[in-house]
Amino acid sequence: MSGRVSRVVVDLDAIRHNVRRLIETSSPARVMVVVKANGYGHGAVRVAEAALEAGAHGLCVALVQEGVELRRAGIEAPILVLSEQPRDQVGELVAHGLIATAYTVAFIDALADEARRRDVVGQEVHLKVDTGMNRVGARPDAVVELGGRVLARSPQLSLGGVFTHLACADDVASPVTADQIRRFDAVIDDLRHAGVDPGWLHLANSAGAIAHSDARRDMVRVGIAMYGIAPDPSMDAMCATLRPALGLVSRVSFVKTVNAGESISYGHRHRFDRTTDVATVPIGYADGVPRRLSAVGGEVLIGGRRRPIVGVVTMDQLMVDMGDDRCAIGDEVVLIGRQGDEVVTANDWGTALGTIGYEIVCALSARLPRDYSGETPSDSQ
């Protein structure tokens, strides 16, 4: 598979640069970088290593397995699992020294029981409070009880922090963020009045860290911005100093002339009104290039120019209209990234497809090899 011409290229220098910028922006809050979903498609271990080199305090993941992958790669930094996990994962979570998120008494007890079984003292727990996202988390009025429960299960457990997740931070003018912050602060007041030290406070995702200074408390949890992608295109200007880390590249595999009146690809949905050269590129929807990208104006870069994808994207290949320009088998194709003066971003695809850059990079499948540039001398062998 490593011989494949279609590949994801990740610039680790861009990751380091972005982490340093986010540390400056968020200071004095510490920066935890989010590497769930294989580092948003960039490769969790390599991104995590680069981010830690650049000064990130720790890592966040969605699943115990994601944390275990990082530990198996030798990473010893703090790793926070962002939600409660299935009961059969708790043993692994504790065994690998991952930081747990909890929002129910039952899960706190399961953690404490597991820690006791394994002679672990001080298993770190962060309480997650739902201040409006309505995904997971404790109701604000339940948090004092949960804090008390963690303390009651000392010394097996220790309360390391309390956090919440912002639902609308990428819509900078939305009043929801201030409302969530107010609810969070009320919960923290309640905890302190009850004599519970809440530990580290954190609310901000990338958009919160960049656009909402009052959401930066002791720590921020940045994902998308570390990859150099704005949380929303409306935040592009605020993210101008960040560098996209991911490129999606391939090479022309076949070229032919198609006559006026002929049609192309499944369903013959595109018909040529003039004779033109068409390049075939060996990448398709099984790699994460959406089938309907051509229907929404999707373009790739060949020879330093934007070229329209024509016909539906197939599972393994797509076709590009070269117009009057020539290209040859082996010519470089950039699907996401820069070529000459032109650039196509993950958010360009997202906007065209009615989604966000997050979904585009996360969908790049395991069939695509990941190549890394900007390696430190010690790991470039």
Ligand X SMILES: *Cc1c(COP(=O)(O)O)cnc(C)c1O
Chain positions contacting ligand X, by CB under 6 A = 34, 36, 82, 165, 205-207, 221-225, 231
How far apart are alpha carbons 126 and 145 in whole angstroms?
A: 14
- Nearest-approach distance from CB 5 to ligand X, in angstroms: 30
Q: From 84, 80, 39, 32, select the one nearest 58 (Cα to Cα).
A: 32
H helix runs in the chain, sequence order: 12-26, 36-40, 44-53, 64-72, 90-95, 105-117, 143-152, 176-193, 206-211, 346-353, 357-362
Catalytic residue among 36, 285, 358, 372: 36
Q: Which is nearer to ligand X, 5 or 63 (CB)?
A: 63
Q: From 145, 33, 42, select the one nearest 78 (Cα to Cα).
A: 33
Tokens describing residue 75: 């990473």
**Catalytic residue flag (residue 266):** yes
Q: Which is nearer to ligand X, 215 or 334 (CB)?
A: 215
- Nearest-approach distance from CB 98 to ligand X, in angstroms: 15
- Nearest-approach distance from CB 31 to ligand X, in angstroms: 11
Q: Which is nearer to ligand X, 225 or 333 (CB)?
A: 225
- Nearest-approach distance from CB 61 to ligand X, in angstroms: 9
Q: Please answer whether residues 126 and 100 qualify as being in contact, where contact means their C-beta atoms are separated by less than 8 angstroms.
A: yes
What b/e sequence results for 39-67 when a residue is b if at least 16 CB atoms lie within 10 Å of its CB, and e otherwise?
Answer: bbbbbbbbbbbbbbebebbbbbbebbebb
Q: Which is nearer to ligand X, 295 or 363 (CB)?
A: 363
What residue is closest to ligand X based on CB? 223
- Nearest-approach distance from CB 201 to ligand X, in angstroms: 14
Tokens describing residue 224: 């998308």
Catalytic residue among 103, 128, 266, 372: 266
Q: Which is nearer to ligand X, 206 or 250 (CB)?
A: 206
Beta strands 100-102 and 123-128: pairing type?
A: parallel
**Catalytic residue flag (residue 36):** yes
Enzyme catalytic residues: 36, 266
